[in-house]
Structure 1
Amino acid sequence: MLALSAEGILPKVDYAIFADTGWEPNAVYSHLDRLEQEVAKPAGIPILRVTSGNIRNDALDPDHRFASMPLYILNQDGKAGMTRRQCTGEYKIKPIKKQVRELLGYPYPARIPRDVFVEQWVGISTDEFHRAKDADVKYMRNRHPLIDMGWSRKDCIRYLSSLGLADTPKSSCLGCPFHGNAQWRNIRDNSPAEWADVVEFDAAIRKGNARANATGNRLLGEAFLHRSRIPLSEAPIDHVTAAEWAALQQELGAEEDAEQLEEGVTDGCSPWTCRGEIAATQDDFGLAT
């Protein structure tokens, strides 16, 4: 959408906002820098980088409130579970709303007049049209230009390729539990330092978040980044085993296939398209029941 606006195919936007969780892959930050220099600045479009902090550091800090990630849980009775997802709201939607309020001239807790609002573009393609929803606040009105243009994911990739941006990486936390095996392999095989980072984090959260542990409320079971509920350093990320296939079918339903296990969640964790349909079976990453 930024490129379409910069080229004049879509109207020129006033701003582009990137919500930084503090734990994106290096490739994402490099790509953002390139977009800023080669696309946004020449078109006079400021890219605003907003943040609520570093999600990795916050998770391991006992003095910080932790917004739960959607972690895979192995309960003490052997049953599988999953924690609720709060991270997208805390680290992406919240700082974007804060920035929008400031741009409108009404920082929280100021009341925003009914007739003051922004038109917010959300990059949902026709493949995910069911995710196109209105904003939950009156001062933000969502528009979905890609759907208006009838563009699918393939159309977007074709367009990016024509601009020399075919290598656009998926934006999501380095240690996002929604990664597929292909993403985990890519980190392991192409970025040893980042792989060591996520393996270390996976081990660190095994018994729950640091704050919960510090107050004596340890997780009643074990938490994992990988769907197999095996330590990431040992997880079967090179192929789908028979047991993993059976577990996937039971967890997601017979209509799903192995594509999600391999490729991960299609839209990653962009603020308004992060997968949220999975029902949590633990209230909190540190306070399981």
Structure 2
Amino acid sequence: MAAPRQLALFDMQDYRQHKKYLDGVFKTKAELIQQFREEGRDQIYHVLSFGGGTQSSHLLEMHFRGEIHYDYIIFSDTGAEPDFIHEQVWWWRHRQRQVGNTTPFLITHHSSMERGLEEMLMRYILTDYQRFQMPVYCNSVNEDGEIKAGGMLPRQCTVDFKIVPVKQKARQMVLQRHGLGPKQMIPNNVAFIIDIGFSYDEIRRINTYQSPQYDYIRLAYPLVEANETTEDSIKYLEVNGFPTRRSRCYLCPFNCAAERNIGMDWEEIIESEPWSFVKACWFDTKLREVQATGTKIMRSIPYLHYSRRPLSEVFAQEYQLLSSAYKYELSRWIAEWQEYIQAKWGAGKDGIKHAGNHSR
């Protein structure tokens, strides 16, 4: 058996040897800059897609220290972050003032569903809207009616509710900077490089360096280029006494059990934000109720928990206590959403879309 030191040598990470880099799925920032210059785009704006969590905070602090340059820092509010992530965002905005950094620090959101993932889910539940952009765990039913564990839906929410809004906001700011209107074209010599805080251990999440929406926007992954892991970023923040909570949404299916030790768990949501946990349980139940009606394209049975069991059963004791404690808040929250969805997307209080085609 190989000694631990020998094994470590085999496990050494180098993005240049990774299949995704060798296959051209992503490029280094230097390569992107050279590519733009060859296209005649010599005015390049550098943007940080800030998520409020560990990796993008690592990059932000590097910017404050002059180790990496950004023209814009943009946080896209998904509408489902726990309060502690918003608190970290404000902490970093305060630190920016403390260190005297003047880079524009902007907050944006989805262009049509301004209230984010909660609005998307409510729209899905209360209208005939068919698009579902979360990586839920699924069970499938075969021809004999037997239920079997399936896979997961694609993780499109990060792109749609974080990365795309950042692109749109950056484009808007640069158009204004050049004295142009929102529907005008970006000048031919202008380009954008948006840094995404994926780390080397998340290299599987990298699908492209080219923005499918805009040919003058490219995506870079500086922590991958540095062969830095999530744990490296956490240690960097810990050493400096900075916040270290991982960015995620309170209902994210990638929340796991604490013993899985991936930095995100349902127990943290239950302890830190019990009201958010109650909402997650409600969404978890409603998604299966809607799927059972047969009115949605999705035929798989969705679950927010990796065990493919209802959240309210996985954490039965906690749910029993919290659902009782937040009974009034839940009833009021549902009523407010029904009114909002009815006014904006045409759904009635009975949860049925009555008029118009809003399934786009």
Which residue identity lines up with residue 135 of structure 1 in the other structure? Q
Structure 1 residue 75 corresponds to structure 2 residue 152: no
Of structures 1 and 2, the larger Rg is shown by 2
Q: Deviation of residue 115 (structure 1)?
A: 2.3
Decide whether aligned partners of structure 1 residues 176 and 161 sit closer, same or farther in structure 2, where only a CA change above 3 A counts: same
State whether residues 284 and 303 of structure 2, in contact with CA within 8 Å, keep that contact through their aligned partners in structure 1.
Answer: yes
Query: Over aligned residue pairs, what C-alpha RMSD do you find?
Result: 3.0
Q: Which runs of 5+ in 1 are unaligned?
A: 238-289
**5 Å matches for 1:25-44?**
25-39=82-96, 42-44=100-102
Correspondence for 1:201? 283
1:123 partnered with 2:197: yes
- Distance 1:170-1:56 versus aligned 2 partners, 3 A rule: same
What amino acid does structure 2 have at the position aligned with 1:179? N
Conserved? CA contact 2:251–2:277, under 8 Å: no
8 Å CA contact retained: 2:210, 2:217: yes
Q: State the 1:199 CA deviation.
A: 1.2
* Residue identity matched to 1:173: C
1:170-222 Cα offsets, whole Å, 9 max, x none, are 2122101122212111112332222212112211211347xx96x93475453
Q: Residues of 2 paired with 1:36 and 1:176: CA distance?
A: 25
Q: Give SS of 1:216's match.
A: coil
Q: Distance in 2 between matches of 1:64 and 1:134?
A: 34
Equivalenced residues, count: 233
In the other structure, the counterpart of 1:225 is 304
The letter of the residue matching 2:197 is G
Aligned to 2:44: none
- The farther-off stretch of 175-184 and 27-36 is 175-184
Cα deviation code 1:107-165 (max 9, x no counterpart)? 66543344211222222333345655423243223333334444333332222113211
Could you say which structure has the higher helix fraction? 2
Partner of 1:153: 230
- Counterpart in the other structure of 1:94: 164
| 1:269 matched residue in structure 2 | none
CA contact (8 A) 1:114 1:138 kept: no
SS of the equivalent of 1:234 reads helix
Give the structure 2 partner of residue 5 of structure 1.
63
* Structure 2: 5+ residue stretches without partners: 1-58, 259-264, 317-360
Q: Displacement of 1:35 after TM fit?
A: 0.6
3-state secondary structure, aligned to 1:229 = coil
Of 168, 173, 185, which residue of structure 1 is paired with 2:244? 168
Q: Percent identity?
A: 29
TM-score of the superposition, structure 1-length normalised?
0.69
Contact preservation (8 Å) 1:121, 1:144 = yes
Q: Would you say the 8 A contact 1:207–1:219 is kept in 2?
A: no
Q: Is residue 60 from structure 1 mapped to residue 130 from structure 2 by the alignment?
A: no
1:20-52 deviations in whole A, cap 9, x for unaligned?
110101110011010111136631122211111
Give a deviation string over 1:32-76, Cα, whole Å, max 9, x none: 010111136631122211111221133123348444312222233
Task: Indicate whether 1:20 and 2:77 are aligned.
Answer: yes
**Cross-structure match for 2:35:** none
